[in-house]
Amino acid sequence: MVAVLSRQTLVLNRNWQPVGVASVARSLTLVVAERARIVDPANFQLYTWSDWSRLIPHDDELFVQSVAFRIRVPEVITLTEYDRVPVNVVTFSRRNIYKRDRYTCQYCGVKPGSEELTLDHVLPRSRGGTSSWENCVLACLACNNRKADRTPGEAAMPLRKAPVRPAWKPLYAQQAVRIENWSKFLSEAYWTVELSE
């Protein structure tokens, strides 16, 4: 049951624009508090807590077992009061660099596993390079050693793509979660999980 309660639910604002994701537990709490309604992706019908709790889950549907009954797991909710779209930026961090670069060496293109990758400063720190989105990339240990304290041009090691600050999307933080019914509410750009989300 803990795994089901941790499953992700798409959160839409009052205008049905995606603004984030929340756990099933958090989503049900918002619905009980009347701060959100559950959206049925099949027909876009909205449900309050009392309406939703009366629905009997089909055999193939996920559910939460309460003491007295089973509750269908919501996949999408819409907030009842929030109509803004949050303006967020992706925090610069080692973990987010790994996501942006898709665990791939930006010099040779190999995917050796996170323990064989390191953060490389395009312009070395010893030469004034900063730790920023535009100056850090993932490199395998072999490429990092080969490049050493040089720029990619000096080392004759061109980057596969220029490092940039990613745009933020609500799903970025969610380990590339893909729930098919979400596609009715998200543009295709959300599914190309390139550090954007």
Locate the domains of the chain by residue range. Answer: 2-86+169-189, 89-167
CA atoms of 120 and 17, how far apart (whole Å): 37
pLDDT at 172: 46
CATH number belonging to the domain at 89-167, selected among 3.20.20.300, 1.10.760.10, 1.10.30.50, 3.10.20.30:
1.10.30.50
pTM of the model: 0.55
Q: Check pLDDT > 60 for residue 131.
A: yes
Q: Check pLDDT > 60 for residue 196.
A: no
pLDDT at 22: 86
pLDDT in tens, 135-182: 999 999 999 999 999 999 999 999 999 999 887 655 544 444 557 777
For residue 182, with 0-12 CB atoms within 10 Å meaning exposed, 13-18 middle and 19 or more buried, which class applies? buried
Which pLDDT band, with edges at 50, 70 and 90, does 3 fall under? Answer: confident
For residue 117, with 0-12 CB atoms within 10 Å meaning exposed, 13-18 middle and 19 or more buried, which class applies? buried
pLDDT at 86: 60
CA atoms of 92 and 163, how far apart (whole Å): 12
pLDDT in tens, 35-88: 999 999 889 999 999 998 888 887 777 788 777 788 888 999 999 987 666 666
> Hunting for tokens 């900063």 — which residue is that?
130
Q: Which neighbouring-strand residues pair with 47?
A: 38
